[in-house]
Each structure stands twice: as structure tokens, then as C-alpha cells.
Chains A and B, each alone.
Chain A
Amino acid sequence: MRKSNKAPFIWLAPSLIVLFLITIIPTLFLFYTSSVNWELGLPWSDRTFVGLQNYLDIFRDFLFQQAVKRTIVYTVFSVSTEFVFGYIIASFLSRKSVRWKGLLIGTLIIPMTVTPSIAGLIWRLYFNPNYGIINYFLHFFKIAPDWYSYSLAMSSVIIVDVWQWTPFVALILFAGLSALPSTPFEAALVDGASKLQIMRYITLPLLKPIILIAILLRGMDALKMFDVVFSLTGGGPADATELLSMLVYRTGFYQTGMIGLASAIAVVLLVVIILISQLFIKILGEKREEV
């Protein structure tokens, strides 16, 4: 039998109880609603039990498949862009000759603290093809893209996400870079390594745990993206920016109000995110032991 030490559980009890109430119970309820057919507004007693039918329906649904693809593409693009730019900024911040780091860090904080739903709203203005400030600057380069169009709407969402969260990645990487030991670098210099080689064989490997964490945190957030899309494009035009969480919203609350289907999609989203994060944490744990 397990030897249990009572003490820790007293300390954990408040968290355990509260979190159980506000996460386990609702999640179980979500599983339940995903197994029924119920239209928002009709009496609860009108619901019909359909088992796993909702899941079958959504997996066969073209819209769902597209939304999954779209969400993955969106996540990959925004996270990698944030990573690349974040690394460049972090390296820049690390320069000894940059003595005004405080000013830069202060600047970088701002996009992260802007309310995402508001950011979506404001950038919608900026992206207006006719009056927006973005196209004003771009017209000097003789281009005036239609950001509201089907082909560019997703890019506009990615741009807003990159704007908001590159600083986050940059600051984390900067902290990581600052914490790196200097010995490997000195050794590499003595050996005559080039800048690129140093980055590839020393800096990046040493930063791996940090990089993984940054990717994990940003990746999970990108998969869940809702606020910005809601205000910026509302999922449009047509289905150009319909990410998974927008699909849940649209299915469950928007005109259609099919709670069962929406719950099924919500469950899929939830499970996927948790699985991926568990995977990441496991990898992270192993990486830590390596380092």
C-alpha cells in the first residue's frame, strides 16, 4: 500500500478542492454535453443522447478539418516567426554597446500587456486597406495589399500575434542568453570558431530548454487563439480565419447554437492541447537531466 504522508495534503487541500470544483466537474460536464444533441434555447429536457455521434460528425465535417489544418498552420507560422525575430532581438539586447536596455525592455513589454481583444480591434483599423496606417506606410513601396481579403486575412492575424508576443520570446531568450556560462564561448573563440558555428553548436544547444519552454508556452497559446481573431476578423472573410476556437464559438453560440457539436470540438481542442503540453513537459524533463 502507498505510504502517504498526511502533511502535504493539508497544504494542498485548498487548491485541490477549488481546482477540482472548477475544472474536473466542468470538464466532466463538457464530456457529457458532447454526447448529446441540444440546441441553445430549447428546454434542457429536449436534449437527446447520441453517444459518440457528434465526434463522428465533426471528424467527417469539411469545415472542422479545415479549421484543424488552419489552426496548425497558424500556430507553426506565428511561433516560428516569433522565435526567429525573438532570437534576433534577444541577441541585439545582449550587445554590450547597447546601454539603454531598460528603455528597450520597457518598449518590449507594451505589446504583451495590451488586451488581446483590443489589439484585434485596433489592428483591424490599421489594416483597413483604404484608411489604415499600415497601407499608408506601404504605399511608399508602391504596394497596398487588401488585408481584409480572403488571401491575406490569416496573415493579418499572424502579424498581430507576432507583434504581441515576439517580445515575450525575446525577453525569455535574452534572460537565457544572459545566464549562459562563458567558458564554452571562450573555448570556441580560442579554437577559431565562426559566429555562425558558435551559434549553431554552442548557443542554441545550451538554450534548448529555454527554447522549448518558449515554444511550448507560445504554441499552446496559439492553438487556443480566440480574442484577437474575434475582434480582428470574426473568423472571416468566409472561413479564412476560422481557427478551432472560433469554430467552437460559431457552432455553439453563433446562430446555430448546437451545444453538442460545439462541446465535441471543444473536447478535441482540450485533449489535443493537454496531450501536446504533456509531451513537451516530458521532453523538457529529459532535456533538463541532460544539461
Chain B
Amino acid sequence: MRQKIQKRDNDTLLEGNLITSKLEKRKLNLFIDISGTIIIIFIFLFPFLWMVGMSFKDRIQTFQIPPAWFFKPTLENYRDLFSREIFGHYFVNSLLVVAFSVLISLLIAAPAAYALSRFNFKAKKDFSFWILSVRMAPAISVVIPYFLLGSLIGILDTKFVLILSYLTFNIPFAVWMLKGFISEIPIEIEEAAMVDGYSRFEVFYKIIIPLTATGFAATSILCIIQSWNEFTFALFLTTTNARTLPTIVTQFLTFQGVVWGEMSSAATITVLPAVIFAILVRKHLITGLTFGALKE
């Protein structure tokens, strides 16, 4: 039996004392729980599932009204999509750009995060402010000089220029997050190690990093997802060679009824990796999201 009123939790207080009978209360609560769950799943999951479903429908099923909830799936959309080898090319580009950008960002950001966490120096606040500002900068503002300078140097439409530009949001983000995680580690551990003769670098390498592994995981997950979904830089700085998946939308800008199948399969392939990845690592993902918020 549940003793709701006496329980000392937030949720108890949120439930209120509107009904007197315990049984009625339980029924009401169950009703709320279930309908709330259904609403949440419907609103947030259904649009995604519908898109995936569409990618397995043929043209007739797509246009059916009322919509076809149950249908025989077909792979023809995906076949069409991959017969255009250019699509696989975009996929590989996305993978490579994301992998390198996140890796390099972590390598560069980790020491900076450590410094901001452990050292105190006059410019610290300014530097933190600056790093955060970089994170906030709108891509569209930065892409104009990137485009012009890139064309001057001649590095446009290369994976390199994308990896480079992605550093603008990955490094500050990683510094911000990692700094918080590192600050969680009690400084006594380091001090003890240094007394034992460890150099600061060894402390960082052998103690801090292993202890903040989950933090690193959370940070890299968020960086990976952001980089995979990045659109503005990819749109303006690439043409055909270095294009990534999010830019396929340009092929569907004028919406013709006839290409829904191709469009939804392209959309599904673009979105699915990130979604599956996120669900698999959701514990770390949540840590990262909420941690970033809780510890500024």
C-alpha cells in the first residue's frame, strides 16, 4: 500500500489533496500516469516513427488516406537511394568529419579544461567568458568570413575545412563541460600524487582522465551528435566532395509529392545513426545534458 501523503518527496506534493478516498486517488493517479505517458510517447515518438515508416512505403501506400498504419514494407526506397553512390559518399564524409572533429576537440579542450579548473589566474574569468561566447556565436555569422577566406586559401569543399569549422563549437563546449567534470575530482588526490613525485602532466594523464571517463564520454557524445547534425557550415562550405548528410535537404527543397519515398529514406538514414547512438548511451547523454546545466 502506498502512503502518499506521508511520503517526503516532491511528487507527493504535486499530486495534491483533492480526493479523499485512497482507492479513488490511486485510480486517478494511474490514469494520470498512463495518459501522460501516452501523450508523451505520441507527441515525441510518433513523428519520428512515422518518418521511418514512410521510408518503407511505396508510392501508393504513402498517399493513402486514411494513412496506412499497417502495411507491407518495401526496401525499394533504400535501394534507389543507395544505387546513387553519391549518398554513400555523403555518409562516409559525415562519419569522418565527425570523428576527427570530436577527437581533435577533446585533445585540445581537455588541457584547457584542466587549467580552468585547477589554476587561478587573473585572466581566468575573461577567458571563460570568451570561450562561452564562441559557443554562442551563430554559425551564419561566422560562415561568411569562413567562406570568403576559405575560397582565398582554396580549402573549400574539403573535409578539412569542415573539421576546422566544427572546432568552433566543439572546443568551447568540451572545455565548458570537462571543466565541470574535472572540478568534481577532489584536489587532494592530485596534491597527494604530486607529493609522491608525479608531475602535473602525469597527474592529468594518469589520474584525472581515468577518473573523469564518464565525463569524457558524456561530452564526446554530445559533441558527436551536434557535429553529425551540423548544417550551416556544411551547406556553405562544401559543394560535392565534402558534403555531409544534413545537406541532402537541398535536393528536396521544392516539395514534389512524387519523391516522398526517397526523401523519407534519405531522412531516416541521416537521422537514425544519431538517434540509435543517443539511445544506446542515454545514461551518459543525460549526465552530459543535465550536468552542463547544473554546474555552470
How many A residues face the partner with a CB closer than 8 A?
112
Q: Which one of B165, B167, B278, B296 contacts A213 once the chains associate, using CB atoms below 8 Å? A: B296
Q: Which one of B43, B114, B149 contacts A163 once the chains associate, using CB atoms below 8 Å? A: B43
Q: Is B168 an interface residue (CB 8 A)?
A: yes
Q: Which one of B14, B44, B200 contacts A110 once the chains associate, using CB atoms below 8 Å? A: B44
Q: Is A76 an interface residue (CB 8 A)?
A: no
Q: Is A39 an interface residue (CB 8 A)?
A: no
Contact residues in A for B10 (Cβ distance below 8 Å): 94, 177, 180, 182, 185, 203
Once A111-B44, A115-B231 are accepted as A-B contacts, the answer to whether A252 and B144 lie under 8 Å apart by CB is yes
The distance in angstroms between the C-alpha atoms of A11 and B129, with both chains bound, is 18
Interchain nearest-CB distance for B70 vs A (Å) = 15
Q: Is A224 an interface residue (CB 8 A)?
A: yes
Apart from A30-B145, A124-B255, what 12 extra A-B contacts exist at CB < 8 Å?
A11-B111, A19-B130, A19-B131, A22-B167, A109-B285, A115-B231, A117-B249, A118-B267, A120-B249, A136-B67, A220-B136, A266-B138
Q: Which residues of A contact B (CB under 8 A)?
A: 2-5, 7-9, 11-12, 14-16, 18-19, 22-23, 25-27, 29-30, 33, 89, 91-92, 94-98, 100, 103-118, 120-126, 128, 131, 133, 136, 163, 166-168, 171-172, 174-177, 179-180, 182, 185-186, 188-189, 194-195, 198-199, 203, 209-210, 213-214, 217, 220, 223-224, 226-227, 230-231, 234, 245, 248-249, 252-253, 259, 262-263, 266-267, 269-270, 273-274, 277-278, 281, 284, 288
Q: Which residues of B contact A (CB under 8 A)?
A: 2, 7-16, 29-30, 32-33, 36-37, 40-41, 43-45, 47-48, 50-51, 63, 65-67, 107-109, 111-112, 114-116, 119, 121-122, 127, 129-134, 136-142, 144-146, 148-149, 164-165, 167-168, 171-172, 175, 200, 225, 228-229, 231-232, 235-236, 245-247, 249, 252-253, 255, 257, 260, 263-264, 267, 270-271, 274-275, 277-279, 282, 285-286, 289-290, 293-294, 296
